[in-house]
Structure 1
């Protein structure tokens, strides 16, 4: 992995941990959104989502739920 990809992945994992520890629903949601942005930077989906006018990188149906993928924790 490139150095910036490694950094973005580590930041995503940190945000997921913060989301799991947060108690306020809006804080949980914010941490998951930030984690998704970092994962988009790792896997190349970030710029297309923002260019389409969707700054969150996806729909809001899963607010407060962990993102699917290798960084999510069970």
Structure 2
């Protein structure tokens, strides 16, 4: 798995300041942080029969950062 920023207790503590939070969110095309549950769902998919024909892949679960990292003008 290649996770983007996930709103864990550690990240929430770091981003408790709204200015810091907004500076990070502006770079995420989906406009929000990921959740632990979303990362677990990706892992469960990879461990399931539904991914039985997948080999050697990186599963990006990053809210679009990799595809479209944005910087405000």
Q: Tell me the TM-score normalised to structure 2 length.
A: 0.31
Higher share in helix: 1
Higher share in strand: 2
